[in-house]
Amino acid sequence: MRNGMILTAILLSCVPAAARAGTDWQALPDVAPAPADNPTTAAKVELGKMLYFDQRLSSTGSVSCFSCHNVIEGGDDHMATSAGVHGQKGGRNAPTVWNAAFHSVQFWDGRAPSLEEQAKGPPVNPIEMGMADLGAVTGRIRAIPGYRPYFVTAFGEGDVVTMENTARAIAAYERTLITPGSAYDRYVKGDEAAMDATQVRGMETFAATGCTACHQGPAFNGPALPGGTGFFVKFPTHAASPYVAEYALTDDAGRYAATKDEADRGMWRVPTLRNLAYTAPYMHNGSVKSLPAAVRVMASTQLDRTLTDQETADIVAFLGALDGPFPEQTLPRLPPTPGDLLN
Amino acid sequence: MRNGMILTAILLSCVPAAARAGTDWQALPDVAPAPADNPTTAAKVELGKMLYFDQRLSSTGSVSCFSCHNVIEGGDDHMATSAGVHGQKGGRNAPTVWNAAFHSVQFWDGRAPSLEEQAKGPPVNPIEMGMADLGAVTGRIRAIPGYRPYFVTAFGEGDVVTMENTARAIAAYERTLITPGSAYDRYVKGDEAAMDATQVRGMETFAATGCTACHQGPAFNGPALPGGTGFFVKFPTHAASPYVAEYALTDDAGRYAATKDEADRGMWRVPTLRNLAYTAPYMHNGSVKSLPAAVRVMASTQLDRTLTDQETADIVAFLGALDGPFPEQTLPRLPPTPGDLLN
């Protein structure tokens, strides 16, 4: 994944002039990309939604994907860091599942190359869903007889109730959790009335300040890269920013914690900026409580810029144009539980 | 609520002869009854669904009504006893929310006279949702500005973001969580093909055994009583049943724990029998893991009867005719969280 790093360096060196000159504003596609070996089908999406909501995939039976990635609001959980089984707290802020399909790698440190691989993480994380291993997860699903017909419909006959297919189904569902059609999307497609004057001014300020160096592309999370190739940026870049200490921004070594490569120290995947109104608090540690504060922090730590109140307000207004719309969803119906499954 | 107790005694004395002679089989109404001061409206139901799913009504921000009453399956949580904030375990099995609207009192011990009063319990129970008091719950809701318009639509202008209205809205939503139209309902309305021969035989065995002494009426939870008047039965009635010790059925004093009245020792509200396939494990302590075992336990402890394998299987088949159908529901959309709400 070194190419991701190199790309970062090139991009940072050619900004902000390019961004100012003519930003390539892109609307979010109406359909999320899917890997060749896991095309999105209605049957996989239906099964994946069931599994996504199923608390029985955790050791205690109390935590599901939905618990921390709550698709009824911001796709996260309102918390600085999440609460897993036995009330244990994780170390990083839950990234939103909304538009995660447009990330080329998953997790804050990009350690998963796909949604499929990401889906295998939390179930066996001892402070998230706490299952002993992936075999235990599969065992739990197999012990619920009502699931098998859904796996057969999605993946065919045979030994199909597997962790691979579980992850494929969850990933397929997550690829439907996208929010094209925001005010911004309509604006860049030609509907000039879709954003108000403040938002348009904020959009210009956003580019002129240099935010688009990293927050570019349809999901505002970086350039288009092949799946598995991450777009990583050092955060904070300007260590002298007073916010670094105020928000404890270097307490977590970022991607280094996953790779143990010194070059990865303080490197982070660039998150999407869509639906920020719904995903407070902010940063990898959830330390920044409001969106105006988050904008000031990023300008200072990444671009060595101190924004005026007007610039901050304008950028916040623009970011509001990236909210929603959220697709209406029906609740899944889960198959019944054998009484001895959990106790 | 003493009249509920007297009624119990009368009913138990006139069974099983009456039940055998001609049971009054009743279908579930298509609409749940609502109290005069809280008529069900679409606006209340919409708001109530939002509040029902909102984890922010718990101290940690991780537990909602939905967490333990999961309307995507049995309206409970698959566990013997539920997990609340900080992973703490409660003392009793979560009763299903499906058809709770047809109970004349709420909780296993009937200590709440209405769904409205029930809704005020778990948020301030230290091992459930853990809020300091009801004022803190209201404060949390008021701190989410996006809620107010929904309260105004449901309850009018003025000081409407109150705990009373929160409880009214949640209760209104719960009154939509009903399952008329099961195979049994269609059968008793005249569709003789709705139940198969085993289920019909099980229905006759159910009545002949005496189960209808307590499990009568459209929800199989007792006779029609005014809201607030409970139908309580002693459980176990036959202390000599070997199941009493096997499943620790007398460790919990039941309604006595709420009233401290010796007459209430071992008294319990009669639960609904609808959707049992989805609500394992069984009993107030979740100690009985399978439905056949639960049927044997009840026959032994309440009616001093030892059922044959055939009788047990037939009754289980009949109980299956009481499952579903579950109304399709859309997911709510919750208003965004201020970043300092929870941390």
- Rounded to a whole number, what is the distance in Å from the CA of B60 to chain A's nearest CA? 8
Angle A264-A98-A36 (CA atoms, 0-180°, nearest 5)? 75
> How many domains does one find in chain A?
2
Q: Are B206 and B316 part of one and the same domain? A: yes
Q: Do B77 and A55 touch (CB under 8 A)?
A: yes
Q: Rounded to an integer, what distance in angstroms lies between the CA atom of residue A111 and that of residue A259?
A: 8
Q: Are A184 and A316 part of one and the same domain? A: yes
Q: Is the pLDDT of residue B6 over 90?
A: no
Confidence bin at A12 (pLDDT 50/70/90): very low
Q: Are B8 and B90 part of one and the same domain? A: no
Q: Are B151 and B272 part of one and the same domain? A: no
Q: Rounded to an integer, what distance in angstroms lies between the CA atom of residue B309 and that of residue B312?
A: 5
Q: Do B339 and A282 touch (CB under 8 A)?
A: yes
Q: Rounded to an integer, what distance in angstroms lies between the CA atom of residue B102 and that of residue B45?
A: 17
- What contacts A97, CB < 8 A, 6 or more positions away? A65, A69, A71, A75, A76, A174, A177
Residue A89 placed within a domain: yes
Q: Are A202 and A249 part of one and the same domain? A: yes
Provide the Cα torsion A311, A314, A315, A316; round to 10°: 120
Q: Rounded to an integer, what distance in angstroms lies between the CA atom of residue A101 and that of residue A172?
A: 9
Q: Are B195 and B140 part of one and the same domain? A: no
What per-residue confidence (pLDDT) applies to A211? 97
Q: Rounded to an integer, what distance in angstroms lies between the CA atom of residue B217 and that of residue B213?
A: 10
Q: Are B218 and B237 part of one and the same domain? A: yes
Residue B264 is part of a domain; what is its CATH number? 1.10.760.10
Q: Rounded to an integer, what distance in angstroms lies between the CA atom of residue B343 and that of residue A288?
A: 10
pLDDT digit string (tens) for A94-130?
999 999 999 999 999 999 999 999 999 999 999 999 9
Q: Rounded to an integer, what distance in angstroms lies between the CA atom of residue A181 and that of residue A189?
A: 10
Q: Are B163 and B219 part of one and the same domain? A: no
Interface list for B 22-61 with A (CB within 8 A) = 53, 55-56, 60-61
Q: Is the pLDDT of residue A163 over 60?
A: yes
Q: How far is CA A12 from its chain centroid?
A: 22
The residue among A174, A195, A220 that closes a domain is A174
All residues of chain A having their beta carbon less than 8 Å from the beta carbon of residue B326 are 333
pLDDT digit string (tens) for B175-201?
999 999 999 999 999 999 999 999 999
Tell me whether residue A262 is one of the annotated catalytic residues.
Answer: no
Q: Is the pLDDT of residue A21 over 50?
A: no
Instruction: Please state, as a whole number, how many other Cβ atoms lie within 10 Å of the Cβ of residue B284.
Output: 20
Average pLDDT over residues A280-293: 97
Q: Per the structure block, which two tokens stand in for A121?
A: 């993480």
Q: Are A183 and A300 part of one and the same domain? A: yes
A195-204, A306-315, B6-15, B281-290: segment of lowest average pLDDT:
B6-15
Interface confidence, given as ipTM, is 0.89
Classify residue B24 by burial, with Cβ atoms within 10 Å: 0-12, 13-18, 19+: exposed
Residue A37 placed within a domain: no
Interface list for A 253-312 with B (CB within 8 A) = 277-278, 280-282, 286, 288-291
Catalytic entry in A46, A73, A117, A128: A128
Radius of gyration over every alpha carbon of chain B, rounded to an integer in angstroms? 20
What per-residue confidence (pLDDT) applies to B3? 41
Residue A343 placed within a domain: no
Residue B138 placed within a domain: yes
Confidence bin at B2 (pLDDT 50/70/90): very low
Average pLDDT over residues B294-318: 98
Instruction: Please state, as a whole number, how many other Cβ atoms lie within 10 Å of the Cβ of residue A24.
Output: 11
- Find which of A57, A78, A89, A176 to mutate to test the B interface (most B CBs within 10 Å of its CB): A78
The residue among B157, B174, B191 that closes a domain is B174
Residue A339 placed within a domain: no
Confidence bin at B120 (pLDDT 50/70/90): very high
- What contacts B212, CB < 8 A, 6 or more positions away? B15, B16, B19, B23, B206
pLDDT digit string (tens) for A300-328?
999 999 999 999 999 999 999 999 999 99
Q: What is the domain range of residue A67?
A: 42-174
Share of chain B above pLDDT 90, in %: 88
Nearest to A60 among B61, B87, B326 (CB): B87
Q: Per the structure block, which two tokens stand in for A43?
A: 């049957």
Share of chain A above pLDDT 70, in %: 94
Radius of gyration over every alpha carbon of chain A, rounded to an integer in angstroms? 20
A12 contacts A233 by C-beta, under 8 angstroms: yes
Q: Are A207 and A261 part of one and the same domain? A: yes
Residue B87 placed within a domain: yes
Quick check: B98 contacting A, CB < 8 Å? no
The residue among A174, A204, A233 that closes a domain is A174
Element (H, E) at A234: strand A232-234
Q: Are A67 and A110 part of one and the same domain? A: yes
Cis peptide before B16 (omega within 30 of 0): yes
What per-residue confidence (pLDDT) applies to A14? 38
Q: Is the pLDDT of residue B292 over 70?
A: yes
Average pLDDT over residues B198-216: 97
What per-residue confidence (pLDDT) applies to A340? 82
pLDDT digit string (tens) for A142-162?
999 999 999 999 999 999 999
What per-residue confidence (pLDDT) applies to B343? 58
Q: Are B240 and B220 part of one and the same domain? A: yes
Residue A328 placed within a domain: no
Confidence bin at B306 (pLDDT 50/70/90): very high
Closest residue, chain A, to B51 (C-alpha): A72
Residue B244 placed within a domain: yes
- What contacts B315, CB < 8 A, 6 or more positions away? B202, B205, B206, B209, B211, B295, B307
Q: What DSSP string runs through B135-171?
A: HHHHHHHHTSGGGHHHHHHHH-SSS--SHHHHHHHHH
What per-residue confidence (pLDDT) applies to B88? 87
What per-residue confidence (pLDDT) applies to B4? 46
